[in-house]
Chain A
């Protein structure tokens, strides 16, 4: 297994957000985590690369346990795409993508830039390479941040609600980049309510509620024949609107 998540518990103060979450991912798999807000999806994602270290439970990447000691090297294998992009404000788009290879992977400046242009091309942003983040649209910023993740040549990319901060007309360009990556065999763990992406690209959908996984399965099964009432009610809301 590429990723093994074992019995993760996480509390903030007295509130227990994650109450024992376990799952595995094989190389090349895409999984989408769905569920009502406040249910611990983003917290789970942050536990996977220890942006929020879990209180209990263990994370294994390619069989190696993630610890406080190997954190920085392990994170180079597990890239993270943020809801609000978090591109480095002072760097041009291409420099945002090049800085990881340059500072962390030992690339020379020119090799890092070559790789950065290649990754920008992959997300369709070659023409904006010299722009600063503030000069990009939200969709362009998110694609640039995906390119920044790709430039680390990670084993796995975590996406934390990558389209939630975008206007509806801009989500399409980000989702199509994600579809393309999934079809190229990138291993992706995605917190998102983009049903279109889940149907098309996900091997499995994980439905969470109250800090636990309550149902998981292939998108066809989960969307067409959900076993749990809560899953059904939630899907009804995001597909048609209305109260959960």
Chain B
């Protein structure tokens, strides 16, 4: 145990140098996912037939293919048609587009769970459909979606590790490098696992606090 602690202390700084990359990748991707997910959810609920169809095909494609395949396609496939990204940007786009599909579905479910009378009452006041959605429906749906969104956020935080496959030097890539330098794979992956557990626990706690803070009786 103390041998492992010594190992961990020695290599932790190098691994943690990748932390800004991991967190930056995660936050950027989640933000893209939230914005795009909201648009997709709107399209799937209120969109006319073509808009609904486009959003549905998007969701099915991005939920129906592995994220690693999506990332490799963006990083290695797209350059063939002249679209080139650096590894980090490609990873952000891949994870962002992927989580958008999931976030859209969670949000769609949450919007659907808001009683229809809320929209009717907003429209009866004289709000347009979009205004009623943003001022009345969305604030309720967002509160209801927090538990599922937390799951998604934690999942994606761990998924940032697959960016290592296209050469992003986030924390998992750094751990692997240490492994090949020291041949202490057991120790180094135990270390990296511990780092992920700490990060995901903190995120889970923060989101639980948020959920409590915005809670409203009856919602």
> Contact between A104 and B143 (Cβ–Cβ < 8 Å)?
no
> Contact between B121 and A104 (Cβ–Cβ < 8 Å)?
no
Q: Which residues of B contact A132 (CB under 8 A)?
A: 216-218
In angstroms, Cα B218 to Cα A213, docked, is 40
Q: Which residues of A contact B115 (CB under 8 A)?
A: 86
In angstroms, Cα B126 to Cα A103, docked, is 10
CB distance from A40 to the nearest CB of B (A): 18
Q: B residues 86-139 with Cβ under 8 Å of A?
A: 115, 117-118, 120-128, 131, 135-136, 139
A51, A135, A152: the one contacting B123 at CB < 8 Å is A51
Give the secondary structure class of B's interface. helix
In angstroms, Cα B123 to Cα A99, docked, is 13
The verdict on A76 contacting chain B, using a C-beta distance below 8 Å, is yes
Q: A residues 43-94 with Cβ under 8 Å of B?
A: 49, 51, 72-76, 79-80, 82, 84, 86-90
> Contact between A86 and B121 (Cβ–Cβ < 8 Å)?
yes
CB distance from A89 to the nearest CB of B (A): 5
In angstroms, Cα B123 to Cα A73, docked, is 11
> Contact between B126 and A89 (Cβ–Cβ < 8 Å)?
no
CB distance from B218 to the nearest CB of A (A): 3
The verdict on A211 contacting chain B, using a C-beta distance below 8 Å, is no
* Binary flags per residue of B188-219, CB closer than 8 Å to A gives 1, else 0: 00000000000000000000000000001111
> Contact between A90 and B125 (Cβ–Cβ < 8 Å)?
no
The verdict on A237 contacting chain B, using a C-beta distance below 8 Å, is no
Q: Which residues of A contact B218 (CB under 8 A)?
A: 89, 132-135
Q: Which residues of A contact B172 (CB under 8 A)?
A: none
Q: From A51, A80, A100, A103, name the one whose CB has the most chain B CB atoms within 10 angstroms.
A: A103
Q: Which residues of A contact B120 (CB under 8 A)?
A: 51, 82, 86
Q: From A75, A88, A89, name the one whose CB has the most chain B CB atoms within 10 angstroms.
A: A89
Q: Which residues of A contact B217 (CB under 8 A)?
A: 132, 134-135
The verdict on B70 contacting chain A, using a C-beta distance below 8 Å, is no
Asked whether A75 and B126 contact (CB < 8 A) given A84-B117, A90-B139, the answer is yes
The verdict on B22 contacting chain A, using a C-beta distance below 8 Å, is no
CB distance from B125 to the nearest CB of A (A): 5
Q: From A73, A90, A135, name the one whose CB has the most chain B CB atoms within 10 angstroms.
A: A90
The verdict on B160 contacting chain A, using a C-beta distance below 8 Å, is no
> Contact between A76 and B216 (Cβ–Cβ < 8 Å)?
no
Q: A residues 139-197 with Cβ under 8 Å of B?
A: 148, 152
Closest B residue to A160 by beta carbon equals B124
Asked whether A152 and B126 contact (CB < 8 A) given A88-B136, A132-B216, the answer is yes
A84, A87, A104: the one contacting B126 at CB < 8 Å is A104
In angstroms, Cα B217 to Cα A135, docked, is 7
The verdict on B140 contacting chain A, using a C-beta distance below 8 Å, is yes
Q: Which residues of A contact B125 (CB under 8 A)?
A: 75-76, 79, 99-100, 104, 148, 152
Asked whether A89 and B219 contact (CB < 8 A) given A103-B131, A103-B135, the answer is yes
In angstroms, Cα B122 to Cα A133, docked, is 15
In angstroms, Cα B87 to Cα A2, docked, is 67
Q: Which residues of B contact A49 (CB under 8 A)?
A: 124
CB distance from B60 to the nearest CB of A (A): 32
Closest B residue to A81 by beta carbon equals B124
> Contact between A88 and B118 (Cβ–Cβ < 8 Å)?
yes
In angstroms, Cα B140 to Cα A84, docked, is 18
In angstroms, Cα B128 to Cα A74, docked, is 12
> Contact between B143 and A90 (Cβ–Cβ < 8 Å)?
yes
> Contact between A72 and B126 (Cβ–Cβ < 8 Å)?
yes
> Contact between A86 and B127 (Cβ–Cβ < 8 Å)?
no
In angstroms, Cα B143 to Cα A204, docked, is 46
Closest B residue to A80 by beta carbon equals B124
A-B contact pairs, 5 of them (CB 8 A): A73-B126, A80-B121, A86-B117, A88-B118, A135-B217
Q: Can you add 17 more A-B contacts, CB < 8 Å, to A75-B125, A86-B118, A132-B217? A: A49-B124, A51-B123, A72-B127, A73-B126, A75-B124, A76-B125, A79-B124, A86-B121, A87-B121, A88-B118, A89-B118, A89-B219, A90-B219, A99-B135, A100-B125, A103-B127, A133-B218
